[in-house]
Structure 1
């Protein structure tokens, strides 16, 4: 890593307690420093996390790239992230989510003093961080993973950092991109739901609503969880991804997938969205699900999943509470319904090639992750092994 000067990008500084000219005492506060700019976050010394969030927001809104030096030791990481956010991120499927990741990266990599503190094990000298691209390496990447605290989140952030540096190289802003060290991937989730578990969740969402005091029982429309029942029905019948279901609309709108109730066809990809590696094939809808969808539309819904007459953006918090209420074991999240639907499809003997197209995932992935659920899986081998030994 470079031992050059510390980059002067936006960073946090703990302003000490001071006495004003009128005699009043101003308490110590975290402050954002960016060149000649000094902005108070209003956060006390003990509230470093809130100060970092304020820095993330500042970086996302205000930072402008400086002059580029080309070499990793002369190019600020913040400048690389800002360029990527300005030129590439607007075309992403979920630009707000990507922007949040860029801000989280910038808050750590752009504050070398704090990063050095988090990298320093007790009894060892502090690692040198400068705020420049030359900082990127195995020690700093490992420290970032520890700072974030969640391997999957940190891995996605670091992949984004790598993409930003590669983009900077492609437009000749950066001479070369140093290698990014990623944490080991956790084993693939194998949790899928039985039919009785799905029935339990549906019953709790439809009938066992939660009242304002947190106790189970009948509740008013505001505390209803019927929108979760709608989500789970669509997910169980189609194995679609969470965001595809939440974006599904009964009307033709350029920014949303379209459910054609007359022909029973669901175009999952919105017209205005680019195709990504997460496939969104157009599919015919199963009869029972189509009946539900037509009934919801007749009741006035514009989207497949609505809460109080409005489209739902997120269901994670309410879904977690539903799972807790049903006392299900293991990690059950909205994406578990995708695993469940694909598993059920294979158990029912759907041809793998057809299943690959319907569920929108590669054939190799389907066979590797779900193939053992198919009734014909290795059946021929077992049959031949059962024959008498040839003489």
Structure 2
């Protein structure tokens, strides 16, 4: 019986002093040296992400199919259809070094726990700054990051089964979800943050506080989707498919409408722009403003959390909050309703009755 072909893997060539990707008879150089294992693993993940999946005649037993093939097939079929392609590629790059050489029958609770422990180890990588300078960066993945990556592995296995690559589905054991953070900003903190923020960051903060939308929805908002006559903002592009990260549309509060009218004189197609150009990420701008203001724990998501918390504190009902912020009623009840003056009001009224 012929030996099964090994999946693509890294191999260090001493004669060339670099890591190479060995895939059957094919060998591809990575141009990374012995101490650049992390970069070589990223190159392997990129290779697997763009590798065309093998054509199979029928479903395979889990012991006959490698997870590298499963991940490659998932990226090939779903990569262009997923809104957060960058996040998907990042997750594949993290999963590939550990899982790619293993077959699907290796997916068990013990191996998933081992993956979580491996990701929790601090790793040092060399990154290139915008000025061309190389710096070392040491970081470890949090349990929530490992959970998200294993979720991608689960989605890949589900896709493999639905496409007839696997004879039966395989369950991935996910780490327990962490407790939700209840960090929201006071009005004094917001005022200090706005005073210390640059103009484009200030625009983002105000949009986030009045709309409660995710950072990506705000940064991608163009003036063409701001209707001043009807007083509405459409966060979703016409024809764009709705995802779990819902965007929807809102009626514009009069305070925000006044800000938008003043900002309309700024150049650029996007409402939040820097030097008339769209912005991909606002995290650095938010962090610097928070540092200048002396406020800890401020992120774009905290601004969204603050917007919904303030609205619920003012007495907004679960249904109205869910509709305006385009968030499920279950999420409103779970994460925000305890801030409402109406929280457990009916129960308290009945319990306090004398008869």
- What band does the TM-score fall into relative to the shorter chain? 0.7 to 0.9
Within the candidate set 176, 182, 194, 2:168 is matched to: 176
Preserved CA contact (<8 Å) 2:49 2:71: no
Preserved CA contact (<8 Å) 2:19 2:32: yes
Preserved CA contact (<8 Å) 2:309 2:336: yes
Within the candidate set 207, 211, 216, 1:234 is matched to: 207
- C-alpha distance in structure 1 between counterparts of 2:199 and 2:119, whole Å: 35
Aligned to 1:194: 186
CA offset digits 1:128-176 (Å, max 9, x no partner):
xxx2111211122112222223211221111111111111111211111
Report whether the alignment pairs 1:350 with 2:316. Answer: yes
Q: How far does residue 204 in structure 1 lie from its aligned partner after superposition?
A: 0.3
Aligned to 2:116: 145
Matches within 5 A, 1:256-335: 258-329=225-296, 331-335=297-301
Structure 2 SS opposite 1:91: coil
Preserved CA contact (<8 Å) 1:228 1:315: yes
- C-alpha distance in structure 2 between counterparts of 1:187 and 1:228, whole Å: 29
Q: How far does residue 67 in structure 1 lie from its aligned partner after superposition?
A: 4.6
Q: How far does residue 384 in structure 1 lie from its aligned partner after superposition?
A: 4.5
- C-alpha distance in structure 2 between counterparts of 1:265 and 1:244, whole Å: 15
Aligned to 2:139: none
- C-alpha distance in structure 2 between counterparts of 1:7 and 1:268, whole Å: 49
Preserved CA contact (<8 Å) 2:266 2:276: no
Structure 2 SS opposite 1:57: helix
Matches within 5 A, 1:239-258: 239-251=212-224, 258=225
- C-alpha distance in structure 2 between counterparts of 1:232 and 1:347, whole Å: 19
- C-alpha distance in structure 1 between counterparts of 2:216 and 2:45, whole Å: 25
- C-alpha distance in structure 2 between counterparts of 1:136 and 1:383, whole Å: 52
Q: Please, what TM-score do these two structures have when normalized by structure 2?
A: 0.87
Q: How far does residue 374 in structure 1 lie from its aligned partner after superposition?
A: 1.2
Q: How far does residue 351 in structure 1 lie from its aligned partner after superposition?
A: 2.3
Unaligned runs of 5+ in 1: 19-25, 113-130, 206-224, 252-257
Aligned to 1:119: none
Q: Report runs of 4+ in structure 1 exceeding 6 Å deviation.
A: none
Q: How far does residue 355 in structure 1 lie from its aligned partner after superposition?
A: 1.0
Within the candidate set 41, 54, 65, 2:53 is matched to: 65
CA offset digits 1:208-260 (Å, max 9, x no partner):
xxxxxxxxxxxxxxxxx321111100001111111110111012xxxxxx221
Preserved CA contact (<8 Å) 1:31 1:41: yes
Q: How far does residue 105 in structure 1 lie from its aligned partner after superposition?
A: 2.1
Aligned to 1:159: 151
Structure 2 SS opposite 1:294: helix
- CA, structure 1 residues 93+272, in 2 after alignment: closer, same or farther (shift >3 Å)? farther
Aligned to 1:125: none
- CA, structure 1 residues 322+10, in 2 after alignment: closer, same or farther (shift >3 Å)? farther
- C-alpha distance in structure 1 between counterparts of 2:229 and 2:195, whole Å: 29
- C-alpha distance in structure 1 between counterparts of 2:351 and 2:53, whole Å: 67
Report whether the alignment pairs 1:91 with 2:91. Answer: no
- C-alpha distance in structure 2 between counterparts of 1:64 and 1:368, whole Å: 43
- C-alpha distance in structure 2 between counterparts of 1:77 and 1:301, whole Å: 45
Q: How many residues align?
A: 331
- C-alpha distance in structure 1 between counterparts of 2:276 and 2:244, whole Å: 32
- C-alpha distance in structure 1 between counterparts of 2:295 and 2:6, whole Å: 50
Preserved CA contact (<8 Å) 1:278 1:360: no
Aligned to 2:325: 359
Q: How far does residue 178 in structure 1 lie from its aligned partner after superposition?
A: 2.1
Unaligned runs of 5+ in 2: 121-141
- C-alpha distance in structure 1 between counterparts of 2:285 and 2:7, whole Å: 39
Preserved CA contact (<8 Å) 1:202 1:229: yes
Preserved CA contact (<8 Å) 1:64 1:79: no
Preserved CA contact (<8 Å) 1:158 1:182: yes
Structure 2 SS opposite 1:196: helix
